[in-house]
Structure 1
Amino acid sequence: MDQTLKVLVIDDDFRVAGIHASIVDASPGFSVVGTARTLAEAKTLIATFSPDLLLVDVYLPDGDGIDLVGTSNIDAFVLSAADDIKTVRRAMRAGALGYLLKPFPQKRLVERLDRYVRYRHVLSGTQGLSQDKIDQATAILNGTQAPVTVSRSATEQLLLDALEGQELSATEASEAAGVSRATAQRRLAAMASQGVIQVRLRYGQSGRPEHLYSKPLL
Structure 2
Amino acid sequence: MSGIRVLVVDDDFRVAGLHREAVAARAGFVALEPARTVGEARAAIAAHAPDLVLADVYLPDGDGIDLVRSIDADAFVLSAATDAATVRRAFSAGALAYLVKPFDTRVLAERLERYARYRNLLSSVRPLSQDDIDRAAALMRGEREGASLARSATEQTVLAALAGEEASASEVAERIGVSRATAQRHLTALAERGLVQVSLRYGSTGRPEHRFRAGG
Secondary structure of the structure 2 residue equivalent to 1:36: coil
Query: Corresponding residue for 1:26?
Result: 25
What's the % identity of the aligned pairs? 55
Q: TM-score, normalised by structure 2?
A: 0.67
CA deviation map 1:147-168 (0-9, x unaligned): 3962699xxxxxxxxxxxxxxx
Runs of 5+ in structure 1 lacking a partner? 154-218
**Superposition pairs of residues 175-190 of structure 1, within 5 angstroms:** none
Distance 1:147 1:137 in 2: 12
CA deviation map 1:6-40 (0-9, x unaligned): 00000010110000000000011101122000000
Query: Corresponding residue for 1:38?
Result: 37
1:76 touches 1:96 (CA, 8 Å); kept in 2? yes
1:64 corresponds to which letter in structure 2? D
**Superposition pairs of residues 96-115 of structure 1, within 5 angstroms:** 96-115=95-114
The size of the alignment, in residue pairs, is: 151
Query: Corresponding residue for 2:138?
Result: 139
1:135 touches 1:147 (CA, 8 Å); kept in 2? no
Query: Corresponding residue for 1:176?
Result: none
Distance 1:147 1:131 in 2: 14
Query: Corresponding residue for 1:11?
Result: 10
1:77 touches 1:97 (CA, 8 Å); kept in 2? yes
Query: Corresponding residue for 2:122?
Result: 123
Q: TM-score, normalised by structure 1?
A: 0.67
Give RMSD over aligned pairs. 1.6
Query: Corresponding residue for 1:53?
Result: 52
Task: Give the Å deviation of 1:60.
Answer: 0.2
Secondary structure of the structure 1 residue equivalent to 2:128: coil
Distance 1:86 1:121 in 2: 31
Query: Corresponding residue for 1:87?
Result: 86
Mark the structure with the bigger radius of gyration: 2
Task: Give the Å deviation of 1:125.
Answer: 2.1
Distance 1:151 1:135 in 2: 14
CA deviation map 1:77-115 (0-9, x unaligned): 000000000000000000000000000011100000000
Distance 1:98 1:152 in 2: 32
Q: Which has the higher contact order (CA 8 A, sep 6+)?
A: 1
Query: Corresponding residue for 1:175?
Result: none
2:20 touches 2:32 (CA, 8 Å); kept in 1? no
